Amino acid sequence: MPTFINDLPLHVLVVHAVVVLVPLAVLGAVTVAVWPAARRRYGWLVVAVTAVATVAIPVATSSGEGLEHRLPRTALLEAHTRLGDDLLVFVAGLLVALTAFVVLHHRATVVGRRIQPADHGGPGTAARTAAGPPRVLAGVLAAVTVALAVVAAVQVYRIGDSGARAAWADTHYVTTGTGRSSG
């Protein structure tokens, strides 16, 4: 993988996919886990976004490793690298938990639709068919999904903050003018 494109580090470009897609996946996963209407409507879309976010992470870390070898070693850079290497575990875990949750919900919905006309149970039939172990499993998967989403969100923030500190810590800005706004 090239380290630079038109003299701009590839990592700086690629990392934006992670910075956008992981928080989007986090928000979608939490929404799908706690809101049944969103789960029915957007469950598979959120799984797809989370899958793309998961694939973007190794691309970002790989491009970052190429850049890392061209920069002086600092404690800030090492902290950023260490944090970046951990993100894939959390987002991949989120993908697995979310996918299992959506699959379980989809199966319960399909079973509920097949049973509903025969027993004339009305809207609550799908919920009744999901009682017992599948319902407990759904609750556990929802909790794991939310927990991994929170951890992934915190980790993305920490990685971004450490990357900004590594890139900009030695930069000192000079203000022009007196600091007063004109007008």
Chain-centre distance of CA 97, in angstroms? 12
Is residue 106 assigned to a domain? yes
Dihedral angle of Cα 159, 160, 163, 164, to the nearest 10 degrees = -150
Domain that holds residue 99: 4-168
Is residue 178 assigned to a domain?
A: no
Question: Would strands 8-9 and 4-5 be described as parallel, antiparallel, or unpaired?
Answer: antiparallel
Q: Tell me whether residue 182 is in a domain.
A: no
Q: Are 98 and 47 in contact (CB under 8 A)?
A: yes
Query: Is residue 51 one of the residues assigned to a domain?
Result: yes
pTM here is 0.78
pLDDT digit string (tens) for the chain, length 183 residues: 777 777 777 788 889 999 999 999 999 999 999 999 999 999 999 999 999 999 999 999 988 877 777 777 888 888 888 988 999 999 999 999 999 999 998 887 766 654 333 344 445 544 444 455 588 899 999 999 999 999 999 999 999 988 888 888 776 667 776 555 554
Residues 181, 142: Cα–Cα separation, whole Å: 50
Is residue 183 assigned to a domain?
no
The answer to whether position 126 is within a domain reads yes
Q: How far is 8 from 6, CA to CA, in rounded Å?
A: 5
Tokens for 109? Answer: 């919905």
- Domain total of the chain: 1
